[in-house]
């Protein structure tokens, strides 16, 4: 596998302790001590020979160079990495979230704000060794966690790199930062590896999902099942003494014009299927990026009154931890 030079972006994050709670230990360290982390890595790597990492179930042999919607082969591509201060407050803390942006995506929303990375696939081939060193550099810079952005299609690579990083002293929680288009069967292989799940729940209606993604009509069903599995594994968000996230679910939902995301149904689903104490970020920053101008209903920014209505729905549903 080719080893590319990973761009590590540093906004001046000081070298400081990323975890203030000395009793905290990321889940993957226990698996490593038990000798189970290697087995998980081997099992996940085998899946690349007949890929079923996402709900599309392409069964392409990515190790032989075959691709599907995400256009990913067996070669890992990473766009950039560095401390990120624009995430939710429990992730950012004082020194930032150690964010790693992976190239490509299996969902491909038409309004993607990171379309150069997700759709165009900007990034460099990166070895597991380089990815592991990047995780350790982010830890040394004082970041509070390792934030894996769009990880679904590269899970086998992540776990292989984690094997290397753990042996060299990695001890930060892993954040699985996903669009929500994940398979429960794959998530079960991450049980005991991921500490913080941060999924989107983008759409409640299959036809809307089909129109505004690359025909992922099954998105609402797949995301609901995946998020329930994430919640089963790690539960409600738990914070350290400094208010920084250690373990649990952070759930994101982007409010869209004309309530196309189904926000009123989303908040009721969270309250009923997860918990009213689920940490939820109802996001109001929708803007018409990438190909959104081709779709009249989403070719405009979100109106303030629509966002305020979304917050009102969340409060009426009884959600207590809104970001």
The three-class DSSP label of residue 203 is: coil
Judge whether 2 lies within some domain: no
Query: Where does the pLDDT of residue 5 fall: very low under 50, low under 70, confident under 90, or very high at 90 and above?
Result: very low
DSSP H or E segment with residue 133: helix 128-140
CB-based contacts of 251, cutoff 8 Å, min separation 6: 198, 199, 201, 227, 270, 274, 278, 279, 280, 281
| Inside any domain, residue 131 | yes
Query: Mind listing the pLDDT tens digit for each residue in 203-237?
Result: 999 999 999 999 999 999 999 999 999 999 999 99
SS3 269: helix
Q: Percentage of the chain surpassing pLDDT 70?
A: 93
Q: Which residue has the tokens 């080719």?
A: 2
User: Would you state the pLDDT for residue 9?
Assistant: 60
Q: Per-residue confidence at 1, pLDDT binned at 50, 70, 90? A: very low
**Residue range 110-130, pLDDT digits in tens:** 999 999 999 999 999 999 999
For residue 237, tell me if it sits in a domain.
yes
In the prediction, which pLDDT does 29 show?
Answer: 98
Tokens (6 digits) for 310: 């979304």
CA–CA separation, 160 vs 150, rounded Å?
17
Whether 236 is covered by a domain: the verdict is yes
| pLDDT tops 60 at residue 155 | yes
Q: How far apart are CA 167 and CA 242, in angstroms?
A: 27
23 falls in which pLDDT band (50, 70, 90)?
A: confident
Q: CB within 8 A of 171, min separation 6: which ones?
A: 19, 25, 26, 29, 139
- According to DSSP, residue 173 is labeled P
Element (H, E) at 146: strand 146-149
CA 13, chain centre distance (Å): 22
Q: Average pLDDT of 190-205?
A: 98
Confidence of residue 7 (pLDDT cuts 50, 70, 90): low
- Token pair for residue 113? 């704000």
pLDDT of residue 105: 98
Domain count, the chain: 1
Q: Residue 118 belongs to what domain range? A: 27-67+76-322
- The reply to whether 15 falls in a domain is no
pLDDT tens-place string over residues 230-241: 999 999 999 999
What is the percent of the chain where pLDDT is above 90?
A: 92
CA 268/CA 319 separation, integer angstroms: 9
- For the cut 70, the answer to whether the pLDDT of residue 2 exceeds it is no
Q: β-strands 174-178, 196-199: how paired? A: parallel
Is residue 293 included in any domain, yes or no?
yes
- Tell me, yes or no, whether 12 lies in a domain: no
Task: Report the C-alpha gap between 11 and 120 in whole angstroms.
Answer: 26
95 belongs to a structural domain: yes
For 129-138, how does the pLDDT look when each residue is reduced to its tens digit (9 = 90+)? 999 999 999 9
CATH number for the domain that contains residue 36: 3.20.20.70
CA distances from 182 to 144, 220, 253, 288, 296 (A): 25, 11, 16, 25, 29
Specify the 3-state DSSP secondary structure of 267. helix
Q: What is the CA radius of gyration of the chain?
A: 19
């Amino acid at each position: 596998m080719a080893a590319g030079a990973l761009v590590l972006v540093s906004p001046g994050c000081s070298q400081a302790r990323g975890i203030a709670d000395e009793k905290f230990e990321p889940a993957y360290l226990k698996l490593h001590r038990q000798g189970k982390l290697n087995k998980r890595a081997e099992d996940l790597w085998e899946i690349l020979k007949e890929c079923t990492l996402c709900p599309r179930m392409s069964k392409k042999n990515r190790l032989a160079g075959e691709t599907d919607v995400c256009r990913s082969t067996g070669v890992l591509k990473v766009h950039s990495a560095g401390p990120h201060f624009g995430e939710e407050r429990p992730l950012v803390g004082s020194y930032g979230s150690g964010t790693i942006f992976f190239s490509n995506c299996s969902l491909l929303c038409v309004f993607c704000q990171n379309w150069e990375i997700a759709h165009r696939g900007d990034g460099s081939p990166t070895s597991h060794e380089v990815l592991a060193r990047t995780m350790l550099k982010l830890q040394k810079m004082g970041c509070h966690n390792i934030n894996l952005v769009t990880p679904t299609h590269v899970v086998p690579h992540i776990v292989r790199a984690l094997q290397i990083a753990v042996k060299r002293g990695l001890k930060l929680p892993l954040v699985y930062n996903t669009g929500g288009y994940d398979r429960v069967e794959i998530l079960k292989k991450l049980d005991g590896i991921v500490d913080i799940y941060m999924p989107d729940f983008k759409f409640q209606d299959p036809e809307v999902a089909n129109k505004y993604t690359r025909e992922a009509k099954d998105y609402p069903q797949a995301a609901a099942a995946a998020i329930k599995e994430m919640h089963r594994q790690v539960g409600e968000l738990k914070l350290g003494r400094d208010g920084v996230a250690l373990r649990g679910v952070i759930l994101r939902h982007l409010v869209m014009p004309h309530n196309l995301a189904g926000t009123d149904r989303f908040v009721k689903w969270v309250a009923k299927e997860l918990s009213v104490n689920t940490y939820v970020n109802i996001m109001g920053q929708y803007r018409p990026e990438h190909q959104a101008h081709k779709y009249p209903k989403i070719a405009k920014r979100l109106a303030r009154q629509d966002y305020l209505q979304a917050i009102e729905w969340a409060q009426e549903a009884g959600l207590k931890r809104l970001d």
